[in-house]
């Protein structure tokens, strides 16, 4: 049960379809595979997806901080000393995805050691989640075509539409086209990735007032505290905080300040140990949560569905679990399968996933 090694392996897998949104774009999954090995030979895995435009982490930076700062702090702890690991990683400010991947790899190794699925160790509420698909910037007709493919192929009926362009009509036209094509057979919400000002956000949301949106996420800058509170007061739908709440303390501040009314939980950003704290906090504060996607590959998605299905609150809404569909390949021996609009969490020990060593050898950047 004692952790003997923490490794950080950079890899890159191209996307077949790039995702464009207000704060950036992703063409290749340049992630870091984190492997935690114990003295009795158990190996836990997770992946860290750097989002330089959001948190300032880069692939090289994640490898460096894990190898030089985090691994020496974690090696020697047992798999049950997760709070000690959390406390030691917490001495360093920032670096959310590097910390989260170490935390989740420890949970995976613990589940394998105890021969229990992580999702059941976390809470065991259900074994599946409905899936929400993210539609990046595009022409309205192309967005409708992509949504049709998701409905027909995977049964997905919830869509998060990226917005935040100028003029805002570029985005509202796409959302309207989706509602007109599918009527009330789909759920729709929008995510601005901080692209608009508060007043642009209000104008855009008013233009979409008849489109029955579920949520609006991070429409204007995270540090525009008063603008965000003003928007919450004007809008009659939950405002999700995403980039503005990378920690549990940020969730407390945003919700109590009245500048958000719902929270995106991303396991890629807060692992299992901190996501659990955020879940409990959201439950206590009585706010909705959505399981978000940090543009995860299949390893990260397995983590997100394991966490999301563990609790009633996190499994109530569709989780963002489908970005991996746009990758040309991945690292798992058994690819995740979305069908009937749902993703089932593995019932095998740990995260229930296995790394394909041939694929890892092919895509890793350090050999």
Minimum CB separation from ligand MUC for residue 26, in Å?
A: 8
- Residue among 11 and 307 whose Cβ is closer to Mg ion: 307
Q: Which of 187, 242, 326, 330 is catalytic?
A: 242
From 29-37, 74-82, 106-114, 286-294, give the range in contact with ligand MUC by CB under 6 A.
Answer: 286-294
| Nearest by Cα to 131 from 15, 299, 291, 331 | 291
Binding-site size, ligand MUC (CB under 6 A): 12
User: From CA 264, how far away is CA 217, in angstroms rounded?
Assistant: 9
Q: Return the bridge partners of 134, or none.
A: 160
User: From CA 228, how far away is CA 207, in angstroms rounded?
Assistant: 18
| Binding flag, residue 193, ligand MUC (CB under 6 A) | yes
Active-site residue 47, yes or no?
A: no
Binding partner at 270 among Mg ion, ligand MUC, none, C-beta below 5 to 8 Å by kind: none
- Residue among 57 and 191 whose Cβ is closer to Mg ion: 191
3-class SS letters over 101-132: HHHHHHHHHHHHHHCCEHHHHHCCCCCEEEEE
Q: Give yes or no for a contact between 269 and 294, defined as CB atoms under 8 angstroms apart.
A: yes
Binding-site size, Mg ion (CB under 5 A): 3
Helices (H), the chain: 52-55, 59-65, 71-74, 82-90, 96-114, 118-122, 140-154, 169-182, 198-207, 225-234, 248-256, 267-270, 273-285, 298-308, 312-316, 357-363
User: Which one of 44, 136, 195, 292 is in contact with ligand MUC (CB under 6 A)?
Assistant: 292
| Binding flag, residue 293, ligand MUC (CB under 6 A) | yes
Active-site residue 99, yes or no?
A: no
| Binding flag, residue 242, ligand MUC (CB under 6 A) | yes
Active-site residue 73, yes or no?
A: no
User: From CA 99, how far away is CA 110, in angstroms rounded?
Assistant: 17
Active-site residue 152, yes or no?
A: no
Binding partner at 21 among Mg ion, ligand MUC, none, C-beta below 5 to 8 Å by kind: ligand MUC
x/- track of binding to ligand MUC for residues 1-40 (CB under 6 A)? --------------------x-x-----------------
User: From CA 263, how far away is CA 288, in angstroms rounded?
Assistant: 6
User: From CA 219, how far away is CA 188, in angstroms rounded?
Assistant: 15
| Binding flag, residue 54, ligand MUC (CB under 6 A) | yes
- Residue among 36 and 327 whose Cβ is closer to ligand MUC: 327
Q: Which of 7, 224, 266, 320 is catalytic?
A: 266
Minimum CB separation from ligand MUC for residue 239, in Å?
A: 14
| Residue closest to ligand MUC, measured at CB | 54
Active-site residue 242, yes or no?
A: yes
Q: Give yes or no for a contact between 105 and 130, defined as CB atoms under 8 angstroms apart.
A: no
Pairing verdict, β 128-135 and 342-344: antiparallel
| Binding flag, residue 242, Mg ion (CB under 5 A) | yes
| Binding flag, residue 191, Mg ion (CB under 5 A) | yes
C-alpha dist (Å) from residue 3 to 40, 111, 172: 9, 14, 50
Active-site residue 243, yes or no?
A: no
Q: Which of 59, 294, 298, 342 is catalytic?
A: 294
By CB under 6 A, name the binding residues for ligand MUC: 21, 23, 51, 54, 191, 193, 242-243, 292-295
Binding site for Mg ion (CB under 5 A): 191, 217, 242
Residues assigned a catalytic role: 162, 191, 217, 242, 266, 294
């Amino acid at each position: 049960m004692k952790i003997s090694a923490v490794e950080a392996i950079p890899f890159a897998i191209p996307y077949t379809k790039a995702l464009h949104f207000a704060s950036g774009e992703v063409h290749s999954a340049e992630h870091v595979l984190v492997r935690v090995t114990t003295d009795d030979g158990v190996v836990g895995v997770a992946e860290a997806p750097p989002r330089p435009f959001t948190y300032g982490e880069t692939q090289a930076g994640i490898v460096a901080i894990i190898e030089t700062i985090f691994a020496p702090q974690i090696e020697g702890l047992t798999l049950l000393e997760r709070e000690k690991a959390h406390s030691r990683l917490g001495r360093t400010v920032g670096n959310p995805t590097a910390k989260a991947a170490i935390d989740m790899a420890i949970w995976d190794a613990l589940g394998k050691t105890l021969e229990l699925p992580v999702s059941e160790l976390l809470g065991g509420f259900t074994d599946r989640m409905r899936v929400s698909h993210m539609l990046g910037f595009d022409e309205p007709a192309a967005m409708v075509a992509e949504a049709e493919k998701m409905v027909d192929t995977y049964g997905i009926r919830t869509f998060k539409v990226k917005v935040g362009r100028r003029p805002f009509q570029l985005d509202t036209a796409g959302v309207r086209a989706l509602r007109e094509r599918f009527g009330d057979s789909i759920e729709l919400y929008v995510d601005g990735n901080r692209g608009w000002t508060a007043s642009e956000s209000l104008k855009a949301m008013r233009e979409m007032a008849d489109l029955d949106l579920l949520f609006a996420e991070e429409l204007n800058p995270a540090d525009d505290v008063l603008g965000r509170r003003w928007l919450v007061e004007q809008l009659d739908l939950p405002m999700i905080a995403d980039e503005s709440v990378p920690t549990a303390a940020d969730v407390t501040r945003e919700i109590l300040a009245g500048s958000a009314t719902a929270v995106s939980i991303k396991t890629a950003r807060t692992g299992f140990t901190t996501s659990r704290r955020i879940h409990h906090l959201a439950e206590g504060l009585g706010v909705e949560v959505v399981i978000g996607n940090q543009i995860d590959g299949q390893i990260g998605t397995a983590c997100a569905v394991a966490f999301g299905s563990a609790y009633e609150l996190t499994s109530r809404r569709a989780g963002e679990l489908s970005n991996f569909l746009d990758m040309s390949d991945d690292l798992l021996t058994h690819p995740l399968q979305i069908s009937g609009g749902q993703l089932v969490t593995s019932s095998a020990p740990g995260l229930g996933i296995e790394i394909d060593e041939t694929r890892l050898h092919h895509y890793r950047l350090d050999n």
